[in-house]
Chain A
Amino acid sequence: EAGVTQSPTHLIKTRGQQATLRCSPISGHTSVYWYQQALGLGLQFLLWYDEGEERNRGNFPPRFSGRQFPNYSSELNVNALELEDSALYLCASSLMGLAGGSSSYNEQFFGPGTRLTVL
């Protein structure tokens, strides 16, 4: 079974440009999560999409946005890039974000990430 895939592997942009990162979840998974891992800051939750809708977002400015397509793949868009946006962007998928009222949590499977460098 194919895991979570992300593209591109590396992306180099300059300040003020826009970046688009893509994620394909594991087949059958409906939830997609985005995380940012900046040097020295650890993994920070960015966005959660489920069934095509944004369900939650972390403490990031509005220039970080995204969407989820009918096939459950997702895009993360970062507008007006700043130097501090340089980071590894990780996508994860799970069967569903909220486990339907049960006490179990659906494990998040992570992709290899996209390394964004802003010059």
Chain B
Amino acid sequence: DAKTTQPTSMDCAEGRAANLPCNHSTISGNEYVYWYRQIHSQGPQYIIHGLKNNETNEMASLIITEDRKSSTLILPHATLRDTAVYYCISLRENTDKLIFGTGTRLQVFP
């Protein structure tokens, strides 16, 4: 599975969009990009995943570059409850274990 790199931390004002980048320059054609987040003292929570196309759900949007070497998770209107560590994970199809990196600690402030 490709290694991913993320900034260690980011800040975002409440109500603004939070854009969290992830580099996965060694990603291969059958690897998906997954995003999870972990709010303090809780288990990780699935957010979204994608392969090539941009994806959107009720929580977030995922923008994947055309060359698939990087992606951005967008929380359109960040709230204080979005403060968490966000993990970007690349995962081959039909595999099982998630390999978590160090993630990005997002702090949403009032």
Contact = CB atoms under 8 A, between A and B. Distances in A.
Contacts of A105: 32, 34, 49, 91, 93-95
Interface in B84-102: 87, 91, 93-102
Interface residues of B, number: 23
Given A45-B99, A56-B97, A98-B96, A90 B44 contact: yes
Interface string B11-51: 00000000000000000000010100010001111100101
A56 B45 contact: no
A61 interface: no
Interface of A: 4, 31, 33, 35, 42-45, 48, 55-56, 58, 90, 92, 97-99, 101, 103-105, 107-113
Interface of B: 32, 34, 38, 42-46, 49, 51, 87, 91, 93-103
Given A105-B49, A110-B45, A112-B42, A42 B103 contact: yes
Contacts of B32: 105
Does more than half of chain B's interface fall in helix, strand or loop, or is it mixed? loop
Contacts of B94: 98-99, 101, 103, 105
B97 A45 contact: yes
Contact of B93 (A99, A107, A112): A99
Given A33-B97, A97-B96, A105-B32, A110 B43 contact: yes
